[in-house]
Structure 1
Amino acid sequence: MEKEGQKIMVAVDESQESMYALSWCLGNLISDTTTDQLVLLYVKPPPSVYSSFDIPGNIFSSDALGAVEKYGRDLAASVMERAEAMCRNINTSNIKMERVIGSGDAKNVICSAVQKLKADTLVMGSHGYGFFKRALLGSVSEYCAKHAKCPVVIVKHP
């Protein structure tokens, strides 16, 4: 009988970097001798607060807002399907997989999910932004490395 393994959370998005991090995780952290739990976490951007008028004074239709929401749901489903397909390509008999989709500021949602789901390890890709872009935009992986309540593995795309 295999023993219970660790709970590994992988933050995935539409980027090559996050899919590479998932691939790295599957090849380096998943054990053949334990049953590991893999949590795939996708964070949708926060729902935008739309005024009823755009800049030129046109009224946003509910159809336009609905289309934006549908696009967000479709993108999340697409990312999760790609991630799950990657997991199926390896021997997944010893992996329990779970999908989690959050909404909001990525760094806060990721750190909250780590704590709420009691992850043992968080794996993330790095976009490799330079100093100025990172200073302007902030780095989600850097924030999570400092604030997540578990070890964080940041995988750089070669």
Structure 2
Amino acid sequence: SVTSELVFSDCEIPEENILPLTKGLKSPLMCLSQARYGISWGVIGSAMACYQTALDYAQGRVQFGKPISAFQLQQAKFADMLTEITKAQLLSYQLGRLKEQGKITPTQISMAKRNNVHMAMEVARKARTILGGNGISGDYPIMRHMNNLESVYTYEGTHDIHTLVLGAEITGHQAFN
């Protein structure tokens, strides 16, 4: 996406143009939390699409007289992918329950964004390996998902930033000022 910089010098905003009920950074940070929460769900969809693409491919690709999905190493990859997707679903589902109850915290959202984006990237990588050379072709959606996930990894806070947020919550010490 295109990024830009806006610089305002001696800019005054009339009182009637200020958002109601906002004070300081609270409202923008709330928007950031909502976006991160949405990302925690969206990347699950990408992971599921990669998983399903790989499963469909492996069921139809025959080597040595049987589908490659019948081989132990491929089955281990499918078991790992489905387990990680399910764990991410449960994490985001629990966050949704906390959100409905008004008990969700930004740190919990950071955990979900951090975990689920990482999970989706790993699932996409495993799915790509199952397709072999076809995994990097435009005939299958895995590389598109991988590219999208790389961008999601960065925006709304990188994996490292969310790690620092969690670390501060766990230890009570900010690693940055």
TM interval, shorter chain, is 0.3 to 0.5
Q: TM-score, normalised by structure 1?
A: 0.33
Q: Which protein has the bigger helix share?
A: 2
Higher relative contact order (CA 8 A, sep 6+): 1
Q: TM-score, normalised by structure 2?
A: 0.31
Structure with bigger gyration radius: 2
